[in-house]
Chains A and B, each alone.
Chain A
Amino acid sequence: MTKISMTVDGVNYQDEVEPRTLLVHYLREQLGKTGTVVGCDTSNCGACTVHLDGRSVKSCNVLAVQADGGEVTTIEGVADGETLSPVQEAFRDCHALQCGYCTPGMIMQATDLLRENPSPDEDYVRQHMEGNLCRCTGYHNIVRAVLQAADAGTGGEQA
């Protein structure tokens, strides 16, 4: 077992984990952060996307021990209390989700995308959301939501 310490959604945690534990399993099983989900085992689907030190990562592709000392934000830490982030707001407004399983990863990736490029065009959004799979929406409304959040002018996370 290896001792790790990290901040997740603003709370500091210190735990012992098996070195082989994936970050996503640590988040889900030890911290109860079940908002972040697992959709595949080959890093293709992006459902598990979180932010590690401010950048989006697929948390199935990071060991918990690699995140030691880091700061993690999950879908559960994106809203500011009852106030949704602009990306969350846009996803609801544009009907960018149906079953909602890919949604946490989509929102985390879109948030990072807009931090990189606050004024993307459709092609940029489509290329940069490529690592997140959705089976329900055909991406049409997801792309619209990201563009709408960009228009709202504040793509980044809430403070």
Chain B
Amino acid sequence: MTITEEPQTGNREVGRDRRRKEDQRLITGRTRWTDNMQLPGMLHLTMVRSPFAHARITNLDTTEAKAAPGVIAVLTGADVTDLQGSLPNAWPVTPEQKAPPHPAIAVDRVAFSGEIVAVVIARSAAAGRDAAELVDVDYEELDAVTDLKAAAADEVLAHPDLGTNESALWVFDSVEAGTGEDVEAAIRDADVLVEREFRQQRLIPSFMEPRSVVVDPTGEQFVLWSSTQVPHILRLMLALTLGVSESKIRVIAPDVGGGFGGKLQVTPEEVITFLAARHTGKPCKWNETRSESLLSAHHGRDQWQKLTLAARADGTVTGLKVHLTANMGAYLGLVTSGVPILGAFMFNAIYKFPAYRFECQNVFTNMTWTDAYRGAGRPEATFAIERMMDELATELGRDPLEVREQNWIKHEEFPFTTVAGLEYDSGNYEAATARAKELFGYAELRAEQARRRESGDRVQLGIGVSTFTEMCGLAPSRVLGALSYGAGGWEHASVRMLPSGKVEVITGSSAHGQGHETAWSQIVADELGVPFEDIEVLHGDTQISHKGLDTYGSRSLVVGGQAVIAASRKVVEKARPLAAHALEAHEDDLEFSAGRFTVKGAGEGQEGVALTDLALRVFAAHDLPDGTEPGLDADATYDPVNFSYPHGTHLCAMEIDTETGESTMRSYVCVDDVGHVVNPLIVDGQIHGGLVQGIAQALWEEAVYDDQGTLITGSFVDYTLPTSADTISFVTDRTVTPSTTNDLGAKGVGEAGTIASTPAVVNAVLDALRPLGVTDIVMPCTPERVWNAIQGAAHQPLTESAAPHFEESAPNQDTPETEGGTL
């Protein structure tokens, strides 16, 4: 729930908790998911995938499959080797970066289990699946490397031709960058040195709508529908990968059922469906099964993190050194290589560290490739530093919030240039923390914790803290250029004034659940003074929205929304001379308010002229000033000048049953500062969903491979997404320090919950167990791992738990806890 009332906004739309325009069709089933598409003569694709993590293809016989009922064609890597190009990596993080070619269909070697070796094109999905069983592939197994540290040791190679598993080493040093001091000196001179190694387990984004692609080659263009976050990027990359004219490709992202970074990709399946459609001259559809999705859609996270934090005896941090080993998996996808690098700027978080060094070693393994997953680099950084600040507080025997406050940037110190070289424009960590402590009942819970510790309660209470910030609004193009990213970070918008007074807004952002149709309507309603209901937001079709950079990285509102504002203001400026003409006044004497131009000083009651009336006059074009273009429509492309920096304080109370290892979340309070809010309903929703994804990393989710490189968690039976029964209701609130980098004063919210919550939960679990001697638990903190940590810790047994509690004859005593779930 939200505790505070939203400020009164008068007649303004921005700030109102508007119910979403999107919902009517979604709650009545009138949806257009890609898999709903049925086109005349449509054929269906089934992928044949390698069961081996690393193998040479010695023979591939498609004879039987081709002869199966309803099979039109079977394509192999050999069939398309000259056509398929190499899937793109847009982010060569260093000039020396190594990467293998990335074919959509493997030609002679597979490098991960799940890699495509052939595609069956059939009359129906069922016929295709039957025939796929008949594709006969002979493999010669090769040594596979499926452990990140083993891969970094470079003994078994994921790609022998590369000669190494090391893709790139990326380094930031505050001395070299001129942003701070020498971290080695800080370490040498430290009173307190905290050295820790953390594991970021591998996660699977698990959007609810499986990926789906339809390509129709029967018109002048290839029309591609895809369940993608990035229709614009996909269009360009398909053209470049396949050598097809960009103007001959139209990409449509219809209703898209979630992404979380998992649909920020140019996939083998999109390329293959395109090739199949071209090959057959018929519309082709590929729709994945969930198991296929978990196996082959890109994964996220997967790092080892080594950190050294230097501090003075009084708790002042003097330096931080970070070394990451990041698992690329078998290939570099669209931004695989850059994801861990995004974390480089966030390890210093909200703190005033004087010295900082960051190294990231990107490493290949024979596993599904990794890429963006909600937060992308920033959750990893936030987890590590928030764990370290707790470790420092423990070393010093002090309250974790107090040690954080000693080191964080005070509200009067903004704007503040960090040791990573970013300029934080605004924030108030004191205010957010004070509010969170109040809502949480921090002092009372600490008192209860002390009582339970003292009495040796079987159920111990832990309090977890996470004070996070993140960089949102990806991204200033010049910064991306400096980081060798292959594109810019601007966004585009158009505003079209229709003669009937209605307004069409075209945005390059591509929503897949974020509610842009509603939020953009609110923004434009205020800018142009037209009713919310009269605004139509169009997106996700490159023929309608011809220019854009799509939706990810909490960028849509602060970059795309600002483009919408800029286009709206251009419309008003284009209308101004027409209004002057209509009102027989001088332009400089006009003011525009609530959708109407009036003459300054002409007094109350004057009618003036409405913008929507001018739209009709322009349409008729009967009486325009000489030389005036008959049109009010305007385009804008906005390139942000800086990131935005939302922050917040998250507090979590966990109860841990020290006998069973079961953990129960008792309360979770977060106070986020995301700047000004366009729609509080949508913002709260983003926070809730983000929290649960971050909590799931802490407690439940992990992509597990066996030592052969086979994904064990290949279905929703084994990859344990949280359910309603695993989760609780959250207490959310906001403080507001407006961003200074956009006209809305907004900061971005899409990833905040996920970034902040993981360390809050793990810190709470450890806080409960530290008196038992537990110092670390590798995520996810399942009951089994918690129980093992308690057993393994050198501790004095608690009175109660030391008592015999298993009777030989007792029923159900050996029922195992459900792996990964707390019920």
- Partner of A84 from the list B20, B27, B725, B753 (CB cut-off 8 Å) is B27
- Partner of B258 from the list A35, A129, A136 (CB cut-off 8 Å) is A136
Q: Please encode chain B, from 722 to 763, with 1 for each CB lying within 8 Å of some chain A CB and 0 for all others.
A: 111101011000000000000000000000010000000000
Q: Please encode chain A, from 51 to 69, with 1 for each CB lying within 8 Å of some chain B CB and 0 for all others.
A: 0000000000000000000
B208 touches A135 (CB 8 A): yes
- Partner of B290 from the list A45, A76, A88, A126 (CB cut-off 8 Å) is A45
Collect the chain B residues with CB atoms within 8 Å of residue A101's CB.
Answer: 33, 207-209, 257-258
The docked-state distance in angstroms from the alpha carbon of A44 to that of B294 is 14
Asked if B775 lies at the interface with its beta carbon under 8 angstroms from chain A, I say no
Nearest CB on A from B233, distance (A)? 19
A98 touches B716 (CB 8 A): no
Question: Size of chain A's interface in residues, with CB distance under 8 A?
Answer: 57
- Partner of B29 from the list A35, A129, A144 (CB cut-off 8 Å) is A35
The docked-state distance in angstroms from the alpha carbon of A21 to that of B688 is 38
The docked-state distance in angstroms from the alpha carbon of A130 to that of B94 is 46
Nearest CB on B from A103, distance (A)? 5
19 extra interface residue pairs, beta carbon distance < 8 Å, beyond A40-B716, A91-B23, A102-B208: A39-B290, A41-B291, A41-B715, A78-B28, A92-B27, A93-B19, A95-B19, A99-B207, A100-B257, A101-B33, A103-B26, A104-B29, A125-B724, A129-B724, A134-B724, A137-B685, A138-B691, A141-B685, A144-B729
Which residues 655-703 in B have Cβ within 8 Å of A in the complex?
681-682, 684-686, 688-693
Which residues 69-118 in A have Cβ within 8 Å of B in the complex?
74-76, 78-79, 84, 88, 91-93, 95, 97-104, 107
A79 touches B19 (CB 8 A): no
The docked-state distance in angstroms from the alpha carbon of A40 to that of B209 is 9
Nearest CB on A from B770, distance (A)? 28
Indicate whether A135 sits within 8 Å of B290 (C-beta atoms), given known contacts A92-B27, A95-B681, A103-B26. no
16 A-B pairs within 8 Å (CB atoms) are namely A37-B33, A37-B35, A39-B209, A42-B715, A79-B28, A84-B28, A91-B27, A97-B27, A98-B689, A131-B723, A132-B723, A133-B716, A135-B260, A136-B685, A142-B724, A143-B724
A34 touches B27 (CB 8 A): no
Collect the chain B residues with CB atoms within 8 Å of residue A76's CB.
Answer: 28-30
The docked-state distance in angstroms from the alpha carbon of A142 to that of B688 is 11
Q: Which of A41, A47, A75 has the most CB of B within 10 A?
A: A41
Which residues 640-668 in B have Cβ within 8 Å of A in the complex?
none
Residues on A lying within 8 angstroms of B by beta carbon are: 18, 20, 28, 32-42, 44-45, 47, 74-76, 78-79, 84, 88, 91-93, 95, 97-104, 107, 122, 125-127, 129-144
Nearest CB on A from B91, distance (A)? 26
Indicate whether A130 sits within 8 Å of B29 (C-beta atoms), given known contacts A92-B20, A141-B685. no
B729 touches A140 (CB 8 A): yes
A138 touches B20 (CB 8 A): no
Residue of A nearest to B694 (CB): A138
Residue of A nearest to B294 (CB): A40
A139 touches B19 (CB 8 A): no
Indicate whether A92 sits within 8 Å of B29 (C-beta atoms), given known contacts A133-B723, A137-B685, A141-B688. no
Which residues 206-225 in B have Cβ within 8 Å of A in the complex?
206-210
Asked if B788 lies at the interface with its beta carbon under 8 angstroms from chain A, I say no
The docked-state distance in angstroms from the alpha carbon of A102 to that of B33 is 12
The docked-state distance in angstroms from the alpha carbon of A6 to that of B232 is 44
A127 touches B721 (CB 8 A): no
Collect the chain A residues with CB atoms within 8 Å of residue B38's CB.
Answer: 32
Chain B's interface size range is 35 or more
B206 touches A97 (CB 8 A): no
Binding site secondary structure of chain B: loop
The docked-state distance in angstroms from the alpha carbon of A44 to that of B291 is 12
Collect the chain A residues with CB atoms within 8 Å of residue B753's CB.
Answer: 138
Which of B57-65, B97-105, B512-520 makes up part of the contact surface? B512-520
Binding site secondary structure of chain A: loop
Q: Please encode chain B, from 252 to 274, with 1 for each CB lying within 8 Å of some chain A CB and 0 for all others.
A: 00011110100000000000000
Collect the chain B residues with CB atoms within 8 Å of residue A39's CB.
Answer: 208-210, 290
A143 touches B27 (CB 8 A): no
The docked-state distance in angstroms from the alpha carbon of A100 to that of B20 is 12
Asked if B455 lies at the interface with its beta carbon under 8 angstroms from chain A, I say no
Indicate whether A140 sits within 8 Å of B27 (C-beta atoms), given known contacts A41-B289, A92-B20, A127-B725. no
Q: Which of B206, B207, B257 has the most CB of A within 10 A?
A: B257
- Partner of B28 from the list A33, A35, A141 (CB cut-off 8 Å) is A35
B26 touches A97 (CB 8 A): yes
A135 touches B688 (CB 8 A): no
A47 touches B730 (CB 8 A): no
Which residues 49-63 in B have Cβ within 8 Å of A in the complex?
none
Collect the chain B residues with CB atoms within 8 Å of residue A132's CB.
Answer: 723-724
A126 touches B512 (CB 8 A): no
The docked-state distance in angstroms from the alpha carbon of A139 to that of B723 is 8
Collect the chain B residues with CB atoms within 8 Å of residue A137's CB.
Answer: 685, 688-689
A42 touches B290 (CB 8 A): yes
The docked-state distance in angstroms from the alpha carbon of A126 to that of B534 is 38
Asked if B24 lies at the interface with its beta carbon under 8 angstroms from chain A, I say yes
Give 9 closest A-B pairs by Cβ, nearest first. Answer: A35-B29, A101-B257, A100-B26, A99-B513, A138-B692, A44-B716, A98-B513, A75-B29, A138-B688
Asked if B717 lies at the interface with its beta carbon under 8 angstroms from chain A, I say yes
Asked if B585 lies at the interface with its beta carbon under 8 angstroms from chain A, I say no
Collect the chain B residues with CB atoms within 8 Å of residue A142's CB.
Answer: 724
Asked if B8 lies at the interface with its beta carbon under 8 angstroms from chain A, I say no
Q: Which of B23, B256, B727, B730 has the most CB of A within 10 A?
A: B23
Collect the chain A residues with CB atoms within 8 Å of residue B24's CB.
Answer: 92
Nearest CB on A from B442, distance (A)? 22
B688 touches A140 (CB 8 A): yes
Asked if B31 lies at the interface with its beta carbon under 8 angstroms from chain A, I say yes
